Chain A
Amino acid sequence: MRYLPKSDIERSEMLRVLGVDSLDHLFAHLPDEVRLKRPLNIPAGKSEYEIIDYFRARGAECADGYASFLGAGVYRHYRPVLVDTVVSRSEFLTSYTPYQAEISQGTLTTIFEFQTMLCQLTGMEVANASMYDGSTAVPEAAMMAMRLTGRDRILVARSVHPEYREVLSTYARHQGMPVVEVDYEIETGAVDASDLEKKIDDQTAAVIIQSPNFFGIVEEVRRAAEIAHRKGALLIYVFSEAVSLGLVEPPRDADIVAGELQSFAISPSYGGPFAGIIATKEKFMRQMPGRVVGETKDTRGNRAFCLTLAAREQHIRREKATSNICTNQALVALMATVFMTVYGKQGLRELAEHNLSKAHYLAQKLPLRFSGPFFNEFVVSTASPDAINHSLLEKGIIGGLPLGRYYPELENSMLLCATEMSRRHEMDTVARLFTP
């Protein structure tokens, strides 16, 4: 096996040191009844180029080369070459969680920069080093709100990503955390403020909204925050399209931000690995889950960074920890860090403007379902989303997401997304199908 760096001669020398005559002897103490008495039923090991062939063939069985207008939480954005160049550095790729600060300053420094940029983007005061993804950041934020308020009820807008809400309900069920859904306005597609007013009460720990929401609509964050705060609840702001933060007013009125960074140079990769984050106000930081890096000094007085606030975490607090999260998404967060660095202050805004312009170009000729302001995705009405998608597939284009599965009342609707990678002629092809 080519990954095993020993010759049989060396193995024999080592066995001699151990005073045993075979490798199997090392397992002699295992009871006979637990021993596997046959070879594993897995084919013989393959060479490197057989492996490449195998996966190339699997890739060819997917939508390689198709244009796509799918968004819905996973976006096609250009990945600058620098991203993979940096994350392929052995020192980032093959290091562990930076417990030993003296020989992990590379990772620690980039995480500190990541935390800083996430604060700058979201208008929050502190951010953690990453969560698994946006969907799991949502229940973690909700549990954080429960701890902060001492209340247990959660209101979540129906315009939050349906799969995020499913994950929230899986987590909530065993936390004694009732989750109540708040409607969206059928005209605008934004959260229905009057329904929110009606459902909020003084047992409500948090109100969760997403912006741009699942329908692509930019929400009025301040209004939702006012309603939440009036009842002593916290506002949790969720985002799944991070590029929007280049243009959309940051959620300064929110108390906790739970987001997904896939848009920042993270491959769609059939849904993962992505990177989530939680950001919040400084006064709430000790209830924040996940790893956090802080600045300090070494014994020579030089600036240094280290993992900190570990008193919140499972390896110290065990059953009293803020979360069981351990491994998170460091390398993926580094992709996002490099992406933010490459685009920078001007570039992220320009990129967001391109997304806005492309989506509005595509939308102008289509029957929009909602009237609210949108960023780079929107809902259109059509008698048969499946028929449209079928016609597009024949032209090498993957259309939008039919919404009936998630919202029965939107059976005749589909969610379309355009990014900087959408080409004008492809958008024209889509538009033509809607205008016979």
Chain B
Amino acid sequence: MIKKVRPHVNQNELLLFERSSPGKRGYQLPPLDVPAVDPASALGAQNTRAEIADFPEVSEVEAIRHFTRLSTHNYAIDLGLYPLGSCTMKYNPRVNEQVARMDGLAWAHPYQPESLAQGIMQVMATLEQMLAEITGMDAVTLQPAAGAHGEFTGILMVRAWLQSQGHPRKKLLIPDSAHGTNPATATMAGYAVENIRSNALGMVDVEQLARVVDEDVAALMLTNPNTLGVFEEHITRIAGILHAKGAQLYMDGANMNALVGIARPGDFGADVMHLNLHKTFSTPHGGGGPGSGPVAVKQHLIPFLPKPRLMRRNDGWSWNYDLPQSIGRVRAFYGNVGMHIRALAYILAHGGDGLRNATLDAVLNSNYLRVLLEPYYDLPHQAPTLHECVFSDARQAKRGVRTGDIAKRLIDYGFHPYTVSFPLIVPGAMMIEPTETESKAELDLFVDALISIAKEIEETPDLVLTAPHDTRTSRVDEVTAARKPILRWKPEPK
């Protein structure tokens, strides 16, 4: 029984280029208040282009209908639960959008005089301070543009710190449960990757770790809680093993939303970590960005932070470029400041207690789903979990139905699927993260849906194998898309 949704009529929409017709326009410029300059004589005829062939020409009404119709072809958090494990799809408070658009902030130019940028620098400084308090670290840079960019920044700092002691070392240790960005980051930072196997509980095997950590290891990149939602209980021992050999503990803070107000990486041995403001701190995912990936470090890494850094002078905030040991810039200007504004608004709205309560509810929601779904789906790792839990399709696979099929069937029930086939250590993974901003009623509907699908798989597996049935777009042929890539629209040959 599908309770959350029923089908409704949904409009088709052509591509912009197919809607275009010559001479249509959706703009009007004010009259030019200076003499018009002839482009060919100013730029040189050879530097001046002819028309932009096939560029769209539509009216304002058609433009807004185009994008509004297309928007209705999307699912979104504002429509309901979006339980993508590891992605932390929580409510994005609307007031954050409004404050980020305030004129003095939104129109601030990165090169305007510091005396006329004090407000926005204050916002950034306050956010740095609060993130340091939340993580238990000593300093924060807001420059990286996303989580993976933060990883890159953090690892370059580890490298520079080791280099300052004589040698950058050769490799990074990365658990097999890690996000793909971790090994990709290692390569970009000039390190080889050694994978670490997880034990039966889904945690780092500490004995194995102790055997492989040597003077070639620059750092362990660890997500805690890890991608199974399991807190690495031996984290202080892990940090001790690394530190004893002069290596660093890099913490991937993708799952920091499970710890805020409960435990701080800086207190359990992390030397450097990144945060995803678009996860823990609710800045909107926007269909795939913008993100923001601040990096927090302990005292010994501060000299290596990217430049410039905010510095307090007598008369206010200033940018300090005089940082001889800095790894340099990882991005122009100062980072995704619009995201910093939103994240600070989120923190201010919660306050210290509210942030902790959010963590409690996130963990409550995840465990509630875990308990109610466990009778129906296989839970390969039995360790206690925090903000997310990972089932496998082991039982359903016997009927020929895999995690990807169950995910597609969930769409018919009105839900966005969980994360499919990740982490890699769980074959047929179904990775579920509800976040704290889901009501009990929404969670109950989700449980109903997954129980109902489990029954369908027993009785009518084909129904699940061919899902989704009620969407305007049925299952998409991704294989042909990759084999014969069509990456842009082209006009019909005349």
- Cβ–Cβ contact B55 & A174, under 8 A: no
Tell me how far the C-beta of B466 lies from the nearest C-beta in chain A, rounded to whole angstroms.
8
Q: Are B63 and A342 in contact (CB under 8 A)?
A: yes
Inside 8 A of A383's CB, which chain B residues have their CB? none
Complex Cα gap A58–B159 (Å):
37
Are the CB atoms of B184 and A250 closer together than 8 Å?
Answer: no
A331-B286, A344-B57 are contacts. A58–B43 as well, Cβ < 8 Å? Answer: no
Chain A interface size range = 35 or more
* One of B97-105, B294-302, B450-458 at the interface: B97-105
Residues in A with CB closer than 8 Å to B361 are: 4, 6, 11, 23
- Determine the chain B residues whose CB is within 8 A of the CB of A129 once the complex forms: 288
Which residues of A, 295-352, contact B by the 8 Å Cβ criterion? 295-300, 302, 304-306, 308-311, 313-321, 323-332, 334, 338, 340-352
Given contacts A270-B334, A319-B187, 11 further A-B contacts (CB under 8 A): A42-B134, A94-B82, A107-B287, A129-B288, A171-B188, A218-B44, A270-B109, A271-B332, A308-B481, A327-B288, A360-B42
Interface string of A265-296 (1 = CB under 8 A from B): 00111111101000000000100000111111
A59 lies within 8 A of chain B by Cβ: yes
Q: Mark B341-372, 1 if CB is under 8 A from A, else 0.
A: 10001011111111111101101110110011
Does A321 contact B187, Cβ atoms closer than 8 Å?
A: yes
CB-defined contacts of A110 to chain B, threshold 8 Å: 67, 70
A167 x B474 contact (CB < 8 A) = no
- In the bound complex, residues from chain A placing their C-beta under 8 Å from that of B175 are none
User: Is A102 within 8 A of B474, CB to CB?
Assistant: yes
Assembled-state Cα–Cα distance A358/B31 (Å): 12
The answer to whether A66 and B116 have CB atoms under 8 Å apart is yes
Chain B contacts for A198, CB-based, 8 A: none
**A224-276, CB < 8 A from B:** 245-250, 267-273, 275
When distances are taken between beta carbons in the complex, the residues of chain A under 8 Å from B386 are 26-27
**B358 pairs with A95, CB closer than 8 A:** no
- A-B pairs with lowest CB-CB distance, top 5: A271-B333, A331-B286, A59-B104, A61-B119, A45-B351
Contact of A269 (CB < 8 Å), options: B32, B84, B285, B337: B337
Interface check A74, CB cutoff 8 A: yes
Let me know if A187 is at the binding interface, CB within 8 A: no
How many Å lie between the Cα of A227 and that of B329 in the bound state?
Answer: 30
**CA gap between A132 and B360 in the complex, in Å:** 33
Name the CB-closest residue of A to B260. A40
Q: Which residue of A lies closest to B31 (CB)?
A: A354
Interface pick from A49-57, A150-158, A202-210: A49-57
A334 with B286: CB separation less than 8 A: yes
- B72: which A residues are within 8 A, CB to CB? 91, 106
Q: Give the chain A neighbours of B34 by CB distance below 8 A.
A: 357-358, 361, 424, 427
Contacts of B284 in A (CB 8 A): 93-94, 331
26 intermolecular pairs with C-beta atoms under 8 Å apart = A3-B91, A3-B350, A29-B231, A30-B263, A62-B116, A95-B287, A102-B475, A107-B74, A109-B73, A120-B52, A132-B290, A133-B145, A135-B329, A170-B327, A218-B43, A271-B337, A273-B338, A291-B288, A319-B187, A321-B187, A326-B180, A327-B147, A330-B286, A338-B67, A344-B55, A361-B35
Q: Is B108's beta carbon under 8 Å from chain A?
A: yes
CB-based contact A269/B105 at 8 Å? yes
**B417 beta carbon closer than 8 Å to chain A:** yes
B148 touches A314 (CB 8 A): yes
Closest approach, in angstroms, between the C-beta of A428 and any C-beta of chain B? 10
Docked CA distance A119–B491 (Å): 13
- Stretch in B21-29, B206-214, B242-250, B392-400 with 4+ CB within 8 Å of A: B21-29
Please judge, given known A-B contacts A82-B64, A269-B337, A294-B486, whether A68 and B348 are in contact too, CB under 8 Å.
Answer: no
Q: Is the CB of A54 within 8 A of B348?
A: yes
Report A132-156 residues with CB < 8 Å from chain B CB: 132-136, 143
Residue of B nearest to A61 (CB): B119
**A371 close to B (CB within 8 Å):** no
How many angstroms between the C-alpha atoms of A102 and B51 in the bound complex?
Answer: 36
Most buried by B among A40, A90, A305, A346: A40
Q: Is A14 an interface position by the 8 A CB rule?
A: yes
Counting CB contacts under 8 A, is B323 at the interface? no
Contact (Cβ within 8 A) A398 B116: yes
Cβ–Cβ contact B417 & A89, under 8 A: no
A residues less than 8 Å from B472 (CB atoms): 105
Say whether B263 contacts A41, CB under 8 Å: no
A370 within 8 A of B: no
- Please tell me if the beta carbons of B183 and A319 are within 8 angstroms of each other in the complex: yes
CB distance from A174 to the nearest CB of B (A): 4
Contacting residues, chain B, for A297 (C-beta < 8 A): 476-477, 480
By a CB distance below 8 angstroms, the chain B residues around A127 are 487-488
Does any Cβ of B come within 8 Å of A73's Cβ? yes
Q: A115-B488, A164-B332, A273-B338 are in contact. Are A420 and B29 (CB under 8 A)?
A: yes
Interface check A88, CB cutoff 8 A: yes
Looking at the assembled complex, report how far the CB atom of A10 sits from the nearest CB atom of chain B, in whole angstroms. 4
Interface residues of B in 105-148 (CB under 8 A from A): 105-113, 116-120, 122-123, 130, 133-134, 136, 145-148
The residue on A at minimum CB distance from B124 is A270
Distance in angstroms between the alpha carbons of A61 and B118 in the assembled complex: 6
Interface: A215 (CB within 8 A):
no
Tell yes or no: A175 within 8 A of B by CB: yes
Which chain A residue shows the least CB distance to B105?
Answer: A59
Q: Which of B25, B67, B145 has the most CB of A within 10 A?
A: B67
Q: A176 interface residue, CB < 8 Å from B?
A: yes
Chain B residues positioned under 8 Å from A64 (CB to CB): 103-104, 107
Q: Give every chain B residue within 8 A of A326 (Cβ-Cβ).
A: 146-148, 179-181
Q: Which of A34, A248, A316 contacts B47 (CB 8 A)?
A: A248
Complex interface: chain A residues within 8 A of B287 (CB): 92, 95-98, 104, 107, 111, 330-331, 334
Are A340 and B56 closer than 8 Å at their CB atoms?
yes
Known: A26-B363, A72-B111, A316-B180. A270 touches B476 (CB 8 A): no
Contact A353 B36 (CB under 8 A): yes
